[in-house]
């Protein structure tokens, strides 16, 4: 199961999308009947969230009617990525700070995480695709918002250490393309800061086949 950190709708793309002036299919749907939260955040965030969403859709393995991918929100707890939201609902769930001292964030998050923990039991691995070096989701000394609920079941990709967001997004998209899943390690007690990793090498383009005409 995967938990995805949210996109920031206050950036350039988010502001354009919500302004009512942008002409696109996504903007029109958001202003009228609504659009899936995962699609909205993929547009707002670009490569990073798009990578997280594609990766989680590819490798999630939860069954028994439990949704396998949830998005962490600022004020509405955990929401399935496919949930359709209107502009008003988007503004509502993104209102406030993602801060463990903010009860409007912690209350819904703790509620949904506890419910999810009870549903999936002790055998399910919960993988956090998001910030691992800040107190927002799992830093022990700041209250352990997810760790204290999921404990050793809460994992993250070891390859995230030392990578910036764009590099993580690109890495996950490559995993989707290759079908090779990343290795996960427990968040509890893990080293979350490391030497900055080099940029991902550009994919090698396959040489065009040569055809000999006889």
Note the pLDDT tens digit of each residue in 167-209.
Answer: 899 999 999 999 999 999 998 876 654 455 555 555 544 444 4
Residue 60, domain member (yes or no): yes
Residue 205, domain member (yes or no): no
At 63 the pLDDT is 73
Residue 15, domain member (yes or no): yes
Extract the tokens encoding 203. Answer: 């994919």
At 135 the pLDDT is 55
Residues 6+ apart with CB under 8 A from 117: 149, 150, 153
At 81 the three-state DSSP class reads: coil
- Tally of domains in the chain: 1
2-4 and 69-72 strand pairing: parallel
Q: How much is the pTM?
A: 0.83
Residue 81, domain member (yes or no): yes
At 52 the pLDDT is 96
At 198 the pLDDT is 53
- How far, in Å, are 18, 37, 113, 117, 156 from residue 85 at the CA level? 13, 6, 21, 25, 28
Tell me the helices (H) and strands (E) count for the chain, helix number first: 8, 8
Residue 23 pLDDT more than 90?
A: no
Question: Which residue from 103, 48, 38 is spatially nearest to 68, judged by alpha carbons?
Answer: 38
Question: Do 43 and 161 form a contact (C-beta atoms < 8 A)?
Answer: no
d(CA 113, CA 147): 10
At 141 the pLDDT is 35
184-186 and 154-157 strand pairing: antiparallel
Residue 32, domain member (yes or no): yes
Give 52-93 pLDDT, tens digit per residue: 999 999 999 877 778 899 999 999 999 999 999 999 999 999
- Residue 131 binned pLDDT confidence (cut-offs 50, 70, 90): confident
Least confident range of 23-32, 39-48, 196-205:
196-205
Extract the tokens encoding 25. Answer: 């299919």
Residue 199, domain member (yes or no): no
Q: By residue range, what is the domain housing residue 175?
A: 2-186
Residue 19, domain member (yes or no): yes
In this prediction, residues 46-51 reach a mean pLDDT of 91
Residue 155, domain member (yes or no): yes
Residues 6+ apart with CB under 8 A from 142: 100, 135
């Amino acid at each position: 199961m995967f938990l995805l950190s949210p996109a920031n709708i206050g950036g350039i793309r988010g502001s354009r999308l919500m302004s009512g002036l942008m002409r696109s299919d996504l903007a029109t749907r958001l202003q009228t009947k609504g659009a899936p939260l995962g699609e909205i955040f993929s547009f707002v965030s670009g490569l990073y969230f798009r990578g997280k969403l594609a990766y989680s859709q590819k490798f999630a393995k939860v069954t028994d009617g439990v949704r396998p991918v949830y998005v962490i929100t600022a004020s509405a707890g955990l929401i399935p990525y496919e949930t359709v939201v209107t502009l008003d609902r988007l503004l509502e769930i993104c209102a406030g700070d993602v801060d463990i001292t903010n009860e409007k964030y912690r209350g819904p998050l703790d509620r949904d995480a506890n419910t999810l923990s009870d549903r999936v039991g002790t055998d399910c691995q919960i993988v956090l695709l998001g910030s691992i070096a800040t107190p927002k989701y799992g830093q022990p000394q700041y209250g352990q918002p997810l760790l204290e609920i999921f404990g050793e079941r809460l994992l993250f990709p070891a390859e995230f250490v030392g990578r910036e967001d764009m590099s993580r997004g690109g890495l996950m998209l490559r995993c989707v393309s290759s079908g090779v899943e990343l290795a996960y390690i427990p968040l509890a007690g893990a080293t979350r800061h490391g030497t900055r990793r080099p940029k991902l090498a550009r994919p090698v383009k396959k040489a065009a086949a040569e055809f000999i005409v006889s």
